[in-house]
């Protein structure tokens, strides 16, 4: 595998890392300006970078496999860069479009965040590049400002209408804590999560079903929520709570009701999960996760047979709770388990997948890790 020096015949000015994430609870709430509760994964995307003065952006990815991609920063335009290079190029475009005086760079990327698994490999990539550019070009931007620029890269340059959760998680998470984020104003609170002390573990089961938010289903759901909010005369569905739900549902067409029911109940589940963590009652998270899955499966309809099977098999094997995490349509399932039962639960899910003829899931254990940072 090529080193930075082999690729660019000089040394990098530094190295930065940004993690993938799993969301504990709060799915499809971010673009409704509601609550989310993600943790960062130990898996990261690393960026080695050095500035260039000739306006060239040169990109190479250990996972991409191909030759160095060479772009001119002043020619970057939405939709102009296909594949993985669109994410780092999009960040440079978003910075320049916002008026920040940044030029080119030589960049080497490497990542151990599984891609297409609903674990935010794209946010990790965007945020690592954003952190590198912030330091190299001495921009002095805050973590939420960098997260917003990374989201803009994905929304406007790559063309995926994602919310702000993944980029905020990748930028702002702390070791040992979940990030309680209010998407309305980007205020955050670090909520301690000591799984080990509670004798618990968080399993992540990647169903290997390709997760692709670019295919229009995510955009359609988001549009449905925005339409419902407009019909109700609200700025966003966040403004609706459980007390107001029955009356609101009566005013909506049949197809929008389940979406609204999910968003309102999911915001309440995030608040309940935070209360459980604050009380040190980590096992109480279990039923909240499982209820969240039922809502995503039955109301929001972003589950699929493989994620349902992983949830059901984990619960049958003794998990305290389980649910799909991330955007849905495949991707990963999380299961809260007794630490000494983790292997048993993972084996039970694997056996259920084998029996159903599915590709075996990839399993990892999540511990709340650190957000974007400079490594050297
Ligand atoms: C994807 C998006 C996020 C969020 C989740 C669903 O991960 O990138 O912004 O909407 O789906 O909670």
pLDDT digits (tens, 9 = 90+) for 131-168: 999 999 999 999 999 999 999 999 999 999 999 999 99
**pLDDT reading at 121 higher than 80:** yes
Confirm whether 166 is a catalytic residue. yes
**pLDDT reading at 10 higher than 70:** yes
Query: What's the sign of the alpha-carbon dihedral 278, 280, 281, 286?
Result: positive
**C-alpha to C-alpha distance for 321 and 111, rounded to whole angstroms:** 29
Q: How many CB atoms lie within 10 A of CB 44?
A: 26
**C-alpha to C-alpha distance for 238 and 358, rounded to whole angstroms:** 37
Compute the distance from residue 95 Cα to the ligand 1 centre, in Å. Answer: 22
For the segment 170-206, what is each residue's pLDDT rounded down to a tens digit? 999 999 999 999 999 999 999 999 999 999 999 999 9
**pLDDT reading at 214 higher than 60:** no
For the segment 332-342, what is each residue's pLDDT rounded down to a tens digit? 999 999 999 99
Compute the distance from residue 48 Cα to the ligand 1 centre, in Å. Answer: 27
Residues in a beta bridge with 46: 17, 110
Compute the distance from residue 7 Cα to the ligand 1 centre, in Å. Answer: 34
Residues with CB under 6 A from ligand 1: 27-28, 30-31, 162-163, 165-166, 213, 326-327
Compute the distance from residue 220 Cα to the ligand 1 centre, in Å. Answer: 13
Pocket of ligand 1, candidates 113, 150, 158, 162: which has the most ligand atoms within 8 Å of its Cβ, to mutate?
Answer: 162
**pLDDT reading at 239 higher than 70:** yes
Look up residue 276 and give its two tokens. Answer: 């459980």
pLDDT of 213? 63
For 91, counting Cβ atoms within 10 Å of its Cβ (0-12 exposed, 13-18 middle, 19+ buried), the class is buried
Q: If you take atom 11 of ligand 1, which residue's CA is the nearest one?
A: 327
**pLDDT reading at 260 higher than 60:** yes
**pLDDT reading at 1 higher than 90:** no
Secondary structure class of 258 (helix, strand, coil): helix
Pocket of ligand 1, candidates 30, 120, 237, 269: which has the most ligand atoms within 8 Å of its Cβ, to mutate?
Answer: 30
The average pLDDT across 34-62 equals 98
> Which of left, alpha, beta for 328 (phi over 0: left; psi -120 to 50: alpha)?
left
pLDDT of 209? 94
118 CA: nearest ligand 1 atom = 7
Phi and psi at residue 204, to the nearest 5° = -115, 120
**C-alpha to C-alpha distance for 76 and 46, rounded to whole angstroms:** 23
Q: Are 131 and 145 in contact (CB under 8 A)?
A: no
In the numeric block, the tokens 């130990």 are attached to 42
163 CA: nearest ligand 1 atom = 9
**pLDDT reading at 79 higher than 60:** yes
Q: Are 278 and 191 in contact (CB under 8 A)?
A: yes
pTM of the model: 0.97
pLDDT of 59? 98
pLDDT of 210? 83
In the numeric block, the tokens 């030759």 are attached to 67
Look up residue 153 and give its two tokens. Answer: 């890269």
Neighbour order of strands in the sheet with 187-192 = 35-36, 177-182, 187-192
pLDDT of 291? 99
Give me the chain's average pLDDT, please.
97
Compute the distance from residue 23 Cα to the ligand 1 centre, in Å. Answer: 9
pLDDT of 242? 96
Q: If you take atom 5 of ligand 1, which residue's CA is the nearest one?
A: 327
- Active-site position among 97, 166, 241, 340: 166
36 CA: nearest ligand 1 atom = 12
Compute the distance from residue 344 Cα to the ligand 1 centre, in Å. Answer: 30
165 CA: nearest ligand 1 atom = 9
30 CA: nearest ligand 1 atom = 10
pLDDT of 243? 96
Pocket of ligand 1, candidates 20, 25, 28: which has the most ligand atoms within 8 Å of its Cβ, to mutate?
Answer: 28
**Three-state secondary structure of 206-221:** ECCCCCCHHHCHHHHH
For the segment 16-25, what is each residue's pLDDT rounded down to a tens digit? 999 999 999 9
For the segment 302-357, what is each residue's pLDDT rounded down to a tens digit? 999 999 999 999 999 999 999 999 999 999 999 999 999 999 999 999 999 999 99
Q: How confident is the model at residue 211 (pLDDT cuts 50, 70, 90)?
A: low
Give, in order, the Cα–Cα distances in Å from 91 to each of 41, 150, 294: 22, 6, 36
């Amino acid at each position: 595998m090529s080193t930075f020096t082999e690729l660019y015949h000089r040394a990098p000015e530094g190295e930065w890392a940004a993690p993938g994430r799993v969301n504990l609870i709060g799915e499809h709430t971010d673009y409704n300006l509601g609550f989310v509760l993600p943790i960062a994964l130990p898996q990261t995307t690393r960026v080695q970078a050095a500035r260039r003065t000739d306006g060239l952006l040169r990109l190479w990815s250990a996972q991409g496999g191909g030759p160095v991609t060479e772009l001119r920063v002043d020619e970057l335009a939405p939709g102009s860069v296909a594949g993985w290079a669109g994410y780092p190029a999009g960040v440079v475009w978003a910075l320049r479009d916002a008026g920040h005086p940044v030029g080119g760079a030589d960049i080497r990327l490497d990542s151990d965040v599984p891609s297409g698994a609903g674990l935010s490999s794209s946010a990790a990539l965007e945020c690592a590049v954003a952190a590198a550019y912030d330091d190299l070009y001495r921009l002095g931007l805050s973590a939420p400002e960098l997260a917003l620029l990374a989201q803009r890269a994905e929304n406007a340059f790559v063309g995926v209408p994602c919310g702000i959760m993944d980029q905020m998680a990748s930028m702002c998470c702390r070791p040992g804590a979940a990030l309680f984020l209010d998407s309305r104003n980007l205020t955050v609170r670090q909520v301690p999560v000591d799984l080990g002390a509670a004798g618990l573990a968080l399993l992540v089961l990647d169903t290997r079903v390709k997760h692709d938010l670019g295919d229009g289903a995510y955009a359609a759901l988001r549009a449905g929520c925005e339409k419902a909010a407009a019909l109700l005369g609200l700025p966003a569905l966040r403004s609706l709570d459980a007390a107001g739900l029955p009356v609101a549902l009566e005013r909506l067409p049949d197809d929008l009701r389940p979406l609204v029911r999910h968003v309102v109940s999911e915001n309440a589940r995030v608040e309940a999960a935070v209360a459980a963590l604050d009380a040190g009652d980590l096992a109480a998270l279990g039923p909240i996760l499982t209820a969240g899955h039922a809502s995503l499966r039955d109301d929001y309809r972003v589950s699929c047979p493989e994620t349902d099977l992983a949830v059901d098999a984990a619960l049958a094997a003794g998990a305290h709770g389980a649910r799909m995490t991330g955007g849905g349509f495949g991707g990963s399932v999380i299961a809260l388990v007794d630490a000494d039962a983790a292997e048993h639960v993972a084996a039970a899910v694997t056996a259920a997948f084998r029996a159903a003829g599915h590709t075996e899931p990839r399993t990892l254990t999540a511990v709340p890790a650190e957000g974007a940072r400079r490594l050297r």
